[in-house]
A = this chain, B = another copy of it.
């Protein structure tokens, strides 16, 4: 048993002696596989554990005392705690993605075409199908992109739309209600004024706008103000979720499913969650390590997406605490790396 796809390789042990580590390893691995409490007998059957079940039992008592394992009830096997899982991912097996996955992956990326939105949507779907966990991708922020062009377009009576195009190819669009009619010439005039005012700046760097009171000046002021105004959807559009339906399968209780889905709906929270985890330098957040209540029965695997050496986004997998960490880690890392390359090509040098 426990022959899930990636081979688990023994690694150095930490604060636990080698035997305890081997036992913990065996417990975690089997529990991930079977979702059942693990007893001393099946642990003793593991090749890496070279002692009898009686010894295993006494070691398990110690592991329980130290907080790595819990017993759901007397006369049951044991289940890893969050701390147990943490030790597992820190010290024990790292997965190696089998060749087949590796090649389907590069095959996928070589056939991938289109705008960044499409690339990310498709990647998150693929990632979900590949890992069987819900996938989350955070796209690069537009915060550091600079304005390359601005245009105001007249849409009809007292209504126009202003579009700014950023150096990363993103278009920021705002509609404007004007208190007065305006001529095409004035619209053009405003367009060029705005463009020259904002060109080369990010939308975060606020630019001084002359406050005269002509129609054109008002339009310019209003348009720039609207571009500076951030809309709720702007940050949320960075989130791509693949396979939220999987949540219904991977988590056991309705409660957990509701919580996780509820959180996934709040996309800004998702962005923060992943960024928090990365900021802490983690690649896995287990149980309540990330401090997000609704995810206390979940684990999140994250890999940063680096473009031109800078962290630009993230790839995440979300599952129950007893998710297959070695495999999930390997998959997320692989995908984030490939995706980073791809995004690099897509954005080009700014």
- Using CB atoms and an 8 Å cutoff, list the residues of chain A in contact with chain B: 114-115, 117-118, 121-122, 148-149, 151, 153-157, 159, 161, 163, 165, 167, 169-171, 173-175, 231-233, 243-245, 247-249, 254, 257-258, 261-262, 264-265, 346, 348-350
Contacts and interface: CB of A to CB of B under 8 A. Distances in A.
B153 A233 contact: no
A349 B171 CA distance: 24
Given A149-B153, A156-B350, A173 B175 contact: no
A48 to B, nearest CB: 35
Contacts of A261: 244-245, 247-248, 261
Nearest to A160: B169
Nearest 6 A-B pairs (CB), nearest first?
A: A245-B261, A245-B262, A248-B258, A149-B153, A248-B257, A171-B173
Contacts of A114: 231-232
Nearest to A243: B265
Contact of A257 (B243, B257, B346, B350): B257
Nearest to A174: B115
Contact of A167 (B155, B173, B265): B155
Given A163-B171, A171-B163, A233-B117, A157 B248 contact: no
A72 to B, nearest CB: 22
A326 to B, nearest CB: 26
B153 A148 contact: yes
A265 B248 contact: no
A161 B348 CA distance: 12
Contacts of A171: 161, 163, 171, 173
Nearest to A114: B231
A159 B170 CA distance: 13
A149, A233, A247: residue with the most chain B Cβ atoms closer than 10 Å: A149
Contacts of A232: 114, 118, 121-122
B349 A157 contact: yes
B165 A153 contact: yes
Given A151-B163, A159-B348, 4 more contacts: A115-B174, A118-B231, A118-B233, A121-B232
Contacts of A153: 148-149, 165
Nearest to A254: B248
A173, A175, A248: residue with the most chain B Cβ atoms closer than 10 Å: A248
